[in-house]
Amino acid sequence: MNHLPITEDTVIFGLLCLCLGFVFYTSSIKTGFWKKFYAVVPTLLMCYLLPAILTSSGLISEENSKLYYIASRYLLPAALVLMTLSIDLQAILNLGSKALIMFLTGTVGIIIGGPIAILIVSTFSPETVGGNDFDAVWRGLSTIAGSWIGGGANQAAMLEVFAYNPKKFGDMVLVDIVVANIWMAIILLGIGKTKRIDKWLKADTSSIETLKQKVSDYTAKITRVTTLNDYIILLSLAFTAVGIAHFAGFHFSEYLQENFEVIRNKQKALSSLGSKFLWMVVFATTIGIILSFTKAKNYEGAGASKIGGLFIYILVATIGMKMDLGSFLDKPGLILVGLIWISIHAGLLILVAKIIRAPYFFLSVGSQANVGGAASAPIVAAEFHPSLTSVGILLAVLGYVVGTAGAYICGLLMEIASKV
């Protein structure tokens, strides 16, 4: 009797934990094949790819899984609290304007990348970017622009604004997920070569290194043998904050939608500010920052950011599980449009980073704050150092703010490009 694919979340979670355990065990081996392997492939990328292989091979099905929802709504905000406990707010501010410049460059890359991709593909496959009325492909691509500049709320707003045929929306979600995940994998691959990339960019990484050193020195000073008491207090702090963040995020977004037409109306540029997920992330981060001014900051010595890192890796595994590597073959034309589009975004980021000598950290986090949003920007930032997590969050929140307006401009440009 064939029981594949596995659909029970308890079994799938066990397999995801097996993947994480395998990656961390093999990456701890400092000789032979595995040492050479992890010198090229970052552990975070492997934690992401192995679950994708489980899905792509048909071993597991994530279609009705609640694991990503639980990881993104429970573990992500808890991780944000634990990883911002030891934050040095002044040092974050001292990072300067390059983070913002790279984020905005990423946004511009997506706005102009969509119409350019349509123009390129229309030269050899006009039917791929064609369509009439509400089936017009440019309408669907505008939803991807919403997702890539902001997030899910912005994507939903573009579906409302440009009235794309809902029956075909699934194709656009596929392109969004496949291309965004490929790009994230490339960014993670680059993290293992950060020093070489920064050298090529001639980047000034002094402010980042100063921040990392300050946090590392502080952590070393307060590190102690962790007790059960410490763990329980850490979990209490984290998940009490998660509860508060959800409660405040839900009611605040409800308040905004009830009292402001500009947020209630999905056709308005600021409608994404009604996102409950956005405000949950904002409140969780705010609580973490407030705790950093109290004695709770000393719990970094008991491993606060390490537990936060554990939660982040579980989230990474659930994100990887949503990626079906075989879906490349389903809509090759549209996937090609997405790949050209993201390449323009990437090319512009590299060009500007080279001109202003921005570190790879700002390039990768600026990009993920756009394309990945609040779920993946902190992951990428934390891979550089837990103390940098908040940079990813702040830029991702900015993405939600500009997402709908940026995607709307992109949609109009794509409409023009499709008629050239």
For residue 137, give the nearest of 128, 146, 124 by alpha carbon: 128
Read off the amino acid at residue 359: P
Give buried/exposed letters for 272-286 (b at 16+ CB in 10 A, else e): bbbbbbbbbbbbbbb
In 28-71, which residue ranges form alpha helices assigned H by DSSP?
Answer: 32-40, 43-56, 67-70
Coil, helix or strand at residue 192: coil
Strand partners, 6: 60
Which residues have C-beta within 8 Å of that of residue 289, sequence separation ≥ 6?
84, 87, 89, 390
Question: Residue holding tokens 């991780």?
Answer: 79
Residue 152 in this model has a pLDDT that exceeds 80: no
Please report the pLDDT score of residue 296 as a whole number.
92
Query: pTM for the whole thing?
Result: 0.76
Indicate whether 170 pLDDT > 80. Answer: no
Which of 264, 211, 145 shows the shortest CA–CA distance to 381?
211
Give all strands (DSSP E) within 194-309, no chain letters.
Answer: none
Q: Report yes or no: 145 and 180 within 8 Å, Cβ to Cβ.
A: no
335 contacts: CB under 8 Å, gap ≥ 6: 175, 178, 179, 328
pLDDT at 105: 95
Residues 43-58: what's their mean pLDDT?
87
The one-letter amino acid code at 251 reads H
CA–CA separation, 280 vs 243, rounded Å? Answer: 9
When mean pLDDT is compared across 100-104, 188-192, 227-231, 371-375, the lowest value belongs to 371-375
Answer yes or no: are the C-beta atoms of 250 and 283 closer than 8 Å. no
- Tell me the C-alpha distance between 157 and 42, whole Å: 35
| CA 13 from centroid of its chain's CA atoms | 21
Q: How confident is the model at residue 85 (pLDDT cuts 50, 70, 90)?
A: confident
Which amino acid, 203?
Answer: A
How would residue 405 be classed by pLDDT, with cut points 50, 70 and 90?
confident
Q: Between the CA of residue 396 and those of 47, 144, 164, 375, what are the distances in Å?
A: 22, 16, 26, 9
List phi, psi (to 5°) of 6. -75, 130
- Per-residue pLDDT, averaged over 173-184, amounts to 85
Amino acid, single-letter form, for residue 329: L
Question: Token pair for residue 342?
Answer: 């993201």
Closest CA to 108 of 410, 364, 335, 372: 410
CB atoms within 10 A of CB 233: 15
Q: CA 37 to CA 43: how far, in whole Å?
A: 10
**Per-residue pLDDT tens digits for 3-47:** 778 999 999 999 999 999 999 999 999 888 998 898 778 787 888
259-299: per-residue pLDDT in tens? 888 787 766 656 667 778 878 888 888 898 899 899 998 99
Please, what's the b/e burial string for 364-383 (b: 16 or more CB within 10 A of its CB; e: otherwise)? Answer: bbbbbbbbbbbbbbbbbbbb
